[in-house]
Structure 1
Amino acid sequence: MALAAGAVFGWLVGEWSFVREIPGQASMTGRATVSPMDMSTALYEEWAEVRLAGGEILHGEQRYLYRKREAGLAVLFAETLALFHELEFHVEVDGCLRAVARHACSDDVYMSEYRIGEDESFAVRHEVRGPRKDYVIHTQYRRR
């Protein structure tokens, strides 16, 4: 893969479309932008149409800050600046870049995986487990 782990921050800058699935609960389609704020911080913003399993349609927004790290990035909640997780990317046997992270939210735990492939796309998977949550979120991004 031509993209090095230390180049992920710059590679993410731009406009993305995405499809997100929470099996048995909801699906989403939307767009996201990653906009640089300075040399080491970028704002991630997304807007989505959410289709619940029962057919109801909602609209959602989400924001994070990405902070550049040597081999990846830190993801922070934009409103509070609290750390969601740190991502350190490594080259996999198939040539993709992959990072995994863990985040505890009260008694619930998010196990996350980010994969950047050979094309202009990447995927994020969050497995969420705990007394109040038990689901998996799959998101596939494609550069617009």
Structure 2
Amino acid sequence: MGEFWPVPDVLAYLAGRWRVTRSVRDLASGDDGRFEGTTVFASLQDGGLLHEESGTFVWQGVARPAARTLRFLPGPSRGTADVRFADGRPFHDLDLTTGRHLADHPCSADLYQGEFTVRDADHWRTVWRVRGPAKDLVLTTDYARSA
């Protein structure tokens, strides 16, 4: 088996509940943060998945609740998805047929560059590098399927 685990049907793979740990490094200030929580991918009527993440984010010693919602819509093939923000705006494409995908998302003056890697049936990771006039961040998120 190679370094990456191919996913023939991305929406089927993601469906369900995942434990999430995310580290956030601010390369400019040297500050570190951490998010721990849960992501649930629940079926939508259009065949996509509703991604709902919730947990606790600790930044500079202060813990606060954090949540986000995304929509993972069917892409042009089963191994792909069209990822959108909760309000429907495009976020990025996703193609895990090889077990690895690179994506970009321009956000105002910042550029988000993401790498998605699938390790096996129950573990995957995202690494977002964020660069811009006010941001210089690395966000690393590990997902582990919940039993």
Q: TM-score range by the shorter chain?
A: 0.7 to 0.9
The worse-fitting range, judged by mean Cα deviation, of 39-48 and 129-138 is 39-48
TM-score normalized by the length of structure 1: 0.88
Is the 1:47–1:60 Cα contact (8 Å) retained in structure 2?
A: yes
Q: Report how many residues are paired.
A: 136
Separation in structure 2 between the aligned mates of residue 82 and residue 140 of structure 1, nearest angstrom: 25
The worse-fitting range, judged by mean Cα deviation, of 42-51 and 82-91 is 82-91
Alpha-carbon deviations, 1:74-99, whole Å to 9, x = none? 11001x200000112242xxxxx011
Q: 1:16 is matched by which residue type in structure 2?
A: W
Which one scores higher on RCO, CA 8 angstroms, separation ≥ 6? 2
Superposed CA RMSD in Å reads 1.5
Separation in structure 1 between the aligned mates of residue 49 and residue 97 of structure 2, nearest angstrom: 21
Match of 1:57 in 2: 63
Alpha-carbon deviations, 1:7-60, whole Å to 9, x = none? 1111100001110001233101001100011352110001011111x2111110
Q: Where does structure 2 lack aligned partners over 5 or more consecutive residues?
A: 26-30
Is the 1:5–1:72 Cα contact (8 Å) retained in structure 2?
A: no
Q: Where does structure 1 lack aligned partners over 5 or more consecutive residues?
A: 92-96
Q: How does 1:108-123 map to 2 (within 5 A)?
A: 108-123=110-125
TM-score normalized by the length of structure 2: 0.86
Match of 1:34 in 2: 41
